[in-house]
Amino acid sequence: MINTAPDLTQICAAISASPKSGKRRLIAVAGAPASGKSTIAEQIADQLCATGHKAQVVPMDGFHLDNAELDKMDLRARKGAPETFDIDALTVLIARIQDAPQVSYPIFDRAADRAIPAGGTLCPDVETVVVEGNYLLFDAQGWRDLHGLWDFRIFLDVPEPVLRARLVDRWLAHDHTQLQAEARADGNDMANARRIYAQRLPCDLEVTLA
């Protein structure tokens, strides 16, 4: 495990040097909610593309279970917890994108609070897929089966106060009041963040963000 500040050149060099177990190289970018996964995943993909290496980001959030299903399971208030995702469907997708020429995948519409089936497409010429999501390195039933599918694993480490501030800002941006935003952050998001830190599987690269 390497602890480092986010140096994209070094990160991408380590990724490019990692062996592929399939046609495509599969990279996991994991971390707590609001740790910056989407941002750094896009930066990695852009940097790889800039060096002539075709890369694309695939987000895990498209595998949120539908709200109606969560209501049946009495889990709507815990949306974002590991048990509120379709881990079986995610595992099938990750296995497929190693070698399948063209693959569709769901994306999550945060404003509408729902997944859009086949909202994204992985093109045949993509060499490296950067998958980002909270639980990609999570040690729990179902989730731990993903660990062996990754060719390179990155974990983002962010202090709790920074995470909480980002989460509150996220909910404020979605028209919550200050009290509502703090309640959402403290009541669910931070609980999920602590689970992620407590049940981490090993990574190849740990990126410390402040």
> In the predicted model, what is the mean pLDDT of the chain?
93
Nearest Cα to Cα of residue 200 among 147, 129, 152: 147
Q: What local confidence, expressed as pLDDT, does residue 3 receive?
A: 57
pLDDT digits (tens, 9 = 90+) for 37-81: 999 999 999 999 999 999 999 999 999 999 999 999 999 989 999
CA atoms within 13 A of residue 34's CA, in its CB half-sphere: 23
Q: What is the mean pLDDT of residues 170-186?
A: 92
Whole-prediction pTM:
0.93
Q: What distances in angstroms separate CA 139 from CA 30, 87, 200, one per listed residue?
A: 12, 13, 6
Q: Read off the tokens for 22.
A: 């399939």
Q: What local confidence, expressed as pLDDT, does residue 113 receive?
A: 87
Q: What local confidence, expressed as pLDDT, does residue 5 receive?
A: 61
Q: What local confidence, expressed as pLDDT, does residue 127 receive?
A: 96
Q: What local confidence, expressed as pLDDT, does residue 91 receive?
A: 97
Q: What is the separation of C-alpha 25 from the centre of its chain, rounded to a whole number of angstroms?
A: 16
Q: Quote the radius of gyration of the chain (alpha carbons, Å).
A: 17
- Residue written as token pair 């909480």: 164
Q: What is the mean pLDDT of residues 185-205?
A: 95
Q: Are 84 and 72 in contact (CB under 8 A)?
A: no
Q: What local confidence, expressed as pLDDT, does residue 4 receive?
A: 59
Residue 138 DSSP code: B
Q: What local confidence, expressed as pLDDT, does residue 111 receive?
A: 82
pLDDT digits (tens, 9 = 90+) for 4-16: 566 899 999 999 9
Q: What local confidence, expressed as pLDDT, does residue 133 receive?
A: 98
> Greatest CA span in the chain, whole angstroms?
48
Q: Are 193 and 32 in contact (CB under 8 A)?
A: yes
Per the DSSP assignment, residues forming a β-bridge with 177 are: none
Name the CATH code of domain 3-157+200-208 (choices 3.40.50.300, 3.50.50.60, 1.10.10.60, 2.130.10.10). Answer: 3.40.50.300
Q: Are 135 and 2 in contact (CB under 8 A)?
A: no
CA distance 182 to 148: 37
Q: Is 74 helix (H, G, I), strand (E, B) or coil?
A: coil
Q: What local confidence, expressed as pLDDT, does residue 6 receive?
A: 64
CA distance 96 to 139: 22
- Confidence class of residue 93 from pLDDT cuts 50, 70 and 90? very high
